[in-house]
Amino acid sequence: METRKFRLDTAEHDTVTRLLKAFFGIVCFVSSIVTFVVMSRAGQLPTVTIAAIVFLFLFGVWLILAGSGLTERYMIISGDVIILKESLLSRARRLKASGIRMIEFSQLKVSFFLEGGEVIHLRLGAYYRESSLRLMETMEEYSSLYGVATKGIIPDNEEGNHEG
């Protein structure tokens, strides 16, 4: 099976957007540190100012992480391996076809039932229905190619159409 990558979030991840996120993240990060130093030397650090500085600092860290691509949600299907990063701050997981007992499809969710009893729920967004449909069709092809049991799929010859 050829390698296919699916983005699972609505954010743009082109080079310009990533560079802008990283740049503004660094600006927020540096601004929060400079503001903290200036305000602490002046002796003016009320709780509201500290809260604003912490927010600016954390927002800068978040933008730097987003600019570096560490917060992306995606699924890559390559051969008999599925590389899945289902949440923003989690690490990517590698699922081999031999380790997947069953794949269950529902309207906006794909569930992977692993051999060890673990269940991974991949929630698909409602924003890009076309890419969700392509992802599910690719997963259907993957499961038939590698002999993974499925649930929730009605074959074309029984129902005749897919939602789309």
Q: What is the pLDDT of residues 80-136, one digit of tens each?
A: 899 998 877 778 899 998 899 999 988 788 889 999 889 988 888 766 666 778 888
Q: Where are the domains of the chain?
A: 11-67, 74-159
Whole-number pLDDT of residue 164: 42
Are the C-beta atoms of 44 and 50 separated by less than 8 Å? no
Domain 74-159: CATH class, spelled out: mainly beta
Residue 162, pLDDT above cutoff 50:
no
Could you tell me what percent of the chain has a pLDDT over 70?
87
Exposed, middle or buried: residue 63 (CB in 10 Å: 0-12, 13-18, 19+)?
Answer: buried
Distance between CA atoms of residues 56 and 58, nearest Å: 6
Distance between CA atoms of residues 118 and 96, nearest Å: 14
Whole-number pLDDT of residue 64: 94
What tens digit of pLDDT does each residue of 55-69 get?
Answer: 999 999 999 998 988
